[in-house]
Amino acid sequence: MALIRCVGLAAMMLCVAAQTPPATPRPPLTPLAFPPSPDAAFCTTASRSAIETTIGANLNKITAAEKLFEAENKALFEWKADRLVAAGAWTEDSRRLFLAKLLADPVIEEGRRAKVAGFQNMMAKVASLEGAEKAGDHRRVCALYLDMLDATTGMARQNDKVWRHTHDATDEVARQGGVSFD
């Protein structure tokens, strides 16, 4: 069967037919790591080009780490789910039901709300950033960029919490079904 990539928990419900081959090794998880964020003093001493270079590089690193993190967690979830189905601990229907229940889980819901709030916060920062740039307020531009880095990191940390919860729930299903992921 062809491997189909599923994006997000809701989409994964529609992709239950996607199966990793039985001999596929357990996908690795790279720890989510972030570059150190410049401190507030950076905004008073750095040139505009240094600010753009440093903030841009950090934002690119955070974005790349988050994309890798998301892809690896999805692959690991799919791998675990396929092992549960293969072991008879799940049917395709119970797999769908698990995902449906997970979408209603308070931790997942909190993650969804935090993501929306984080996105709204980022959009407000972008609007403020445009005003600060037009006004030529170099320090305010820098401070807003630092806030955007913090917001991006916060959203990634929330996503880490959601994935850890998802894996813990999947591991519990495995434990109850006598399935080992080792």
Taking alpha carbons only, the member of 121, 127, 117 closest to residue 148 is 121
> What are the residue boundaries of the structural domains of the chain, listed by start?
37-175
pLDDT of residue 4: 41
pLDDT of residue 131: 92
Indicate the pTM of the whole model: 0.81
Task: Decide: 160 and 69 in contact? Cβ < 8 Å.
Answer: yes
Both tokens assigned to 59: 């934002």
pLDDT of residue 19: 66
pLDDT of residue 109: 94
Task: Decide: 149 and 62 in contact? Cβ < 8 Å.
Answer: yes
Report in angstroms the alpha-carbon separations of 163 from 2, 72, 146, 166, 174: 25, 10, 26, 5, 16
What is the H or E stretch that residue 125 is in?
A: helix 106-135
What are 13-19's contacts with CB under 8 Å, separation 24+? 13/96, 13/99, 13/100, 13/103, 16/81, 16/92, 16/95, 16/96, 16/99, 17/92, 18/78, 19/82, 19/85
Give 101's Cβ-side CA count (13 Å radius).
11
Instruction: From first to last of the 182 residues of the chain, give the pLDDT tens digit.
Output: 333 444 455 555 445 445 667 778 999 999 888 888 898 899 989 888 898 899 889 989 998 999 999 999 999 999 999 999 999 999 989 999 999 999 999 999 999 999 899 889 989 998 899 999 999 998 899 999 999 898 889 899 999 999 999 999 999 999 999 999 98
Number of H helices, E strands in the chain: 6, 0
Both tokens assigned to 106: 């308070």
Q: Which position has the token pair 């880490």?
A: 160
